[in-house]
Amino acid sequence: MLNKEEVLAQIERNVKICQKCRLCKEATNAVPGEGNINAKIVFIGEAPGETEDKTGRPFVGRAGQLLEKALSKIGYKREDVWIGNIIKHRPPQNRDPLPDEIEMCKPYLEMQLEAINPVLIVTLGRFSMNYFIPDGKISRDRGNVIRSGKYHVYPVYHPAAALRNPTMMQGFLDDFMGIPKVLVKIENERENIKDTTDLTDQDDGQLGLGI
């Protein structure tokens, strides 16, 4: 069986040769995602932009610089977290991804998240939020933890949108500052559930002994 690192490396190889949709035709490089594969937090954006397309790395342009700055405010470096996108090739002229492109790319992110198994998924922008929460509304749901299947999702504005709009910038930074508390809360809840399960297991054992 492949270990986590091997699984992610295999997904990366598959992404790099992917021709499942039209986007690979005009893109220079695929951008599979990168970072700490044991991270508790992953950040998921929309699709590579120009700099990402040139380098094959996620969030390395202006939006990426803001992301790194926001990360540093909560005590993280980009190497501490995992960063990816729902779409792995740049859409021409940074147009919005089309529904069939999102659909084709879906299995890659699904497998990446399955392997990393993060405590918290921070979605950057509307497209990424709607990937996990189809009826989500960014202006309403940002800064709130929402359950999506087995994942805890925390939507924030896209850093590129924050760079264009001072009100969104404030919202983006405020929501970002909430991340450490959110993480602790989810971990505590998990710990409580584990404790309750352990107790139930013990009770079962005692009953089994006829006590």
Point out which residues bind ligand URA (CB under 6 A): 45-49, 52, 58-59, 61, 63, 85, 160
CB of 197 to ligand URA, least distance (A): 38
Give min distance, CB of 52 to ligand URA, in A.
4
Instruction: Give the nearer residue to ligand URA in terms of CB position, either 90 or 152.
Output: 90
CB closer to ligand URA, 163 vs 186: 163
52 vs 141, beta carbon nearer ligand URA: 52
Q: Are 87 and 97 in contact (CB under 8 A)?
A: yes
**Residue indicated by tokens 């190889």:** 13
Give the 3-state secondary structure of residue 3. Answer: coil
Give residue number: closest CB to ligand URA.
Answer: 45
The least distance separating ligand URA from the CB of residue 73, rounded to whole angstroms, comes to 19
CB of 51 to ligand URA, least distance (A): 8
Shortest reach from residue 194's CB to ligand URA, in Å: 35
Nearer to ligand URA, 48 or 155 (CB): 48
| Strand 41-45, strand 34-35: pairing | unpaired
- Residue 112 CA to residue 128 CA, distance in Å, equals 15
| C-alpha gyration radius of the chain | 19
Whole-Å CA distances, 179 to 65, 74, 188, 193: 18, 8, 14, 21
Q: Which is nearer to ligand URA, 63 or 113 (CB)?
A: 63
Residue 47 to residue 65: CA distance in whole angstroms: 16
Q: Cα-Cα-Cα-Cα dihedral of 108, 38, 146, 58, to 10°?
A: -50
Least separation in angstroms between residue 9's CB and ligand URA is 20
What count of residues does the chain have? Answer: 211
For ligand URA, which is the closer residue by CB, 58 or 143? Answer: 58
